[in-house]
Chain A
Amino acid sequence: MGKDGKEYLVETNALDSGKLTPEQDGALLNAEVMDRSVIVKGGFYYEMDRKAGKLVKYQIKGEELTTADTLPLDRFSIENSFWAGGDTLLLTGLKTPDFAQAAYALLTTGNMKLIASGNMEIPRPFGRFETMSIGFVKMQGKKLLVGYTYHQQLSPSEYTTSDTIYVTSLSYPQMKSVKTDRDHRSTYPGGMNTIQSSSFADEHGDFYFMACPGIALGNRPQLPTAILKIGRGTDQPDKNYFFNLSLALHNHAYGMWYLGNGQAIVRSERKDLFKGLDDHYSTAHFEFYLVDVLTQKVIKKLDFPLDKGTRRECVLVEGNIAYISINSSTDGNYVWEYNIKAGTLKKGLQMAGNTDYILRIDRLR
């Protein structure tokens, strides 16, 4: 995103060096219909056009982002996406305009055809709760695990979140409820993974997700930000596993990316540097930490300038290198390389010109 608010999409073969200027090298996006909540695969970009009620498949031709195909998805808001093999894409989300009914759409992106869609058998908000958020979906054998929670709107500018993480096992693809687990150790499981990653499965099939009660997601900051684990083949969070990040970092965190061998990167806010939601995105205050999810230890802080932008897909792991985009208020916008084995950092590609934020970084093919 440029300082003038214009957004561009830039494709490149090299992240380790060089300089790109989005105004010259990128495709200008129509910010009225497209934002950063994009799914990228096989040379195409998929994004929900909320106003038109359709999923749009884009590709860059020349310097233009062009529409390749569309699929109507009525009254649907995407919360999470999950590639269910090949070009089969499972979108889980909520029915609009109430954001109170969990729903799904299963489609093939090659021909943009709908395989199935409907509601998921997940309880609607109850009592004082009005809306909900789906934070992760995970295939576990023949079941689909869905992590979610509920919200209460307190005023136009204030809301809060239930003190409970819910994980429901659904039969797949029938989407019928088999079992629901309630976990009170934190809240707001995961997040919209089309905007920022916050869960992964490791080499052993164990699944880890963040719980994010900080002001930028759950807004129940009394509870700790933590990493929870759903063991291979199980259908609920491991009650003996709770990696309390707030205790270790003295802050809330949002965003987690897996590097391999039990190591992950988490992106943590600095509450002493921002005032509130007003400046949470524009103040450079984010730090990146290397953590070990097996030992539940923070290994080290990665030596980047402070980063800005509340929610960003900012880490891309390719083999032994993690590419990490940093928006510094003083040192510009760069993609950094973290060598996982050597533990070293190097400055790579610069996004120059009018760039204000690098909003996401994805593998295109």
Chain B
Amino acid sequence: MAERLLDVKDLSTHFFTHAGVVRAVNGVSFSLARGETLGIVGESGSGKTVAALSVMRLVPDPPGKIVAGEITLKGRDLLALKEEEMRHVRGNDIAMIFQDPMTSLNPVFKIGDQIAETIQVHQGKSKREAWQMATALLAKVGIPDAERRVNEYPFEYSGGMRQRAMIAMAISCNPDILIADEPTTALDVTIQAQIMDVIREMQAQYQSGVIMITHDLGVVAQMADRVMVMYGGRTIEYGPVDEVYYNPHQPYTWGLLGSLPRLDESKKQRLTPIKGQPPNLLLLPPGCPFSGRCPYEREVCRGAFPETEIVGPEHGVNCWIPLDERLEIRANLPRFAARVA
């Protein structure tokens, strides 16, 4: 049983704005073990990024605030730490890479500088040593001619290279956890695969845990061991990737999987997008956030959020539809008729 790195219990993060309270994250729980990859899947606005930022305590305050929950890193209560102590955690124990590497890198400083400064701050190395390490890191993430590149500026790098540089920055201090927030969304499809490889390699080398945040189910299938599906600030299904993909229980998950084109089906397949709009986070119903959009909705769905129901090995779902009904509905979905026993 691998070491448990991160434990998040009932996390709630709200934003208090002029227009009202935005309940970005509501009672979300997840955990991460060493060497494993957790995929957090959801649409824009599902709260996945805010959840990650909450773990790092990087939520802008005002207007955001972690209003409830527990976050434990290797037994340490992160929410109880003073800001100065938390600072030592960031970049050091937990590192994060962001979606758009162009805007996430400071344009007026050299790449080497931006990598080296993390090393200098957390490991107390001298500038020269830190720069040497930075060069080595760049080479490790696959940037050719690292000796020269380390002295260049972000705008001189291509998109893929910039993201590699960000990865180098993130792993520079051997973090236990790497959070990747949509790392390939802004990149070409061909580069995406390469970046995923780099992340996987680094994970293997450092035995870190990876939280992969994405809206792309394909990425999750490739990279993740376990997956957590978020919608409207809540977790609505979670479990090992194979389990969730082959034995999905939440109507939203069905929708997500159903909207994926499949290579093994005939050419006449139609893509079925999920009907409706993402929820307005200002006006979330007290119950299931998918209500109002769910084709199988019951009356009870809007009023209260269903408890987690275990439907498979380490596989939980939040849905009011009784289990047998669910299985029946699912059996009749064109998508799954062939797949599910």
Chains A and B bind each other:
no
Residues of A within 8 A of B (CB): none
Residues of B within 8 A of A (CB): none
